[in-house]
Amino acid sequence: MRRQNPAPVHGPFNAVARDCGAMIVSVRDARASERDRLWIEGVYRDYLDDLTPATATGMFPALGEVGHREPDQIARWFGDRNAFPLVIMQGPEHVGFAMVARGSSQPAQPHIDYRMAEFFIARPRRRLGIGRVAVQLILNRFAGRWEVSEFQRNTPAVTFWRRVVAAYTQGKYQERLFNDEVRQVFDSGPARAP
């Protein structure tokens, strides 16, 4: 039985991470606030810089090419009905963003409901459990069949996603290597929450 895709996220959905010093981590639809969009635009270069060592493969167009400038990419996220640009908050502060997309990036896997197209936590906020909690919130909100992929050479991302997905699914996920990407496929929803 296929799950219905949820309606777009409007407003925050919160969780308290007791193991992270009782900080409150929340995730909300970034379309709800111009401030959220501007924050994402302001840190997008940091996100791309994090990807550069792992993606120096020629797979991505150089920034500045027509249609591949940072504002163009962000405008596509905010204009796509099948994309959910999200901002990650720690209390009242912006600390990261995610972009959830409907469907698989690979036509050969049409049974995927959602994929994590982009995920970023600001450098000073890493290794505090914020990313893990944000992922749990996102996966619980967007219940269904998921695909997460990382470039094989991006060791920190591969390590993070393997750890988070394994904990979230209690080890019930599939992983494979395809075109220099590590891909995890699994089911999500509130019943899966650790």
Residue 155 token pair: 């060791």
What Cα–Cα distance (Å) separates residue 159 from each residue in 22, 62, 110, 115, 166? 25, 26, 26, 18, 11
pLDDT (tens digit per residue) in 70-79: 667 788 888 8
pLDDT (tens digit per residue) in 71-111: 677 888 888 888 999 999 998 899 999 999 997 666 666 68
pLDDT (tens digit per residue) in 29-53: 999 889 999 899 888 888 877 776 5
Q: Give alpha helix (H) positions in 61-190.
A: 70-79, 130-141, 155-169
Exposure of 22 in the CB half-sphere (CA atoms within 13 A)? 0
Residue 143: pLDDT band (50, 70, 90) is: very high
Q: Could you give the CA distance from residue 21 to residue 40 in angstroms, rounded to a whole number? A: 26
Cβ(63)–Cβ(48) below 8 Å: yes
What CATH number should be reported for the domain whose range is 13-192?
3.40.630.30
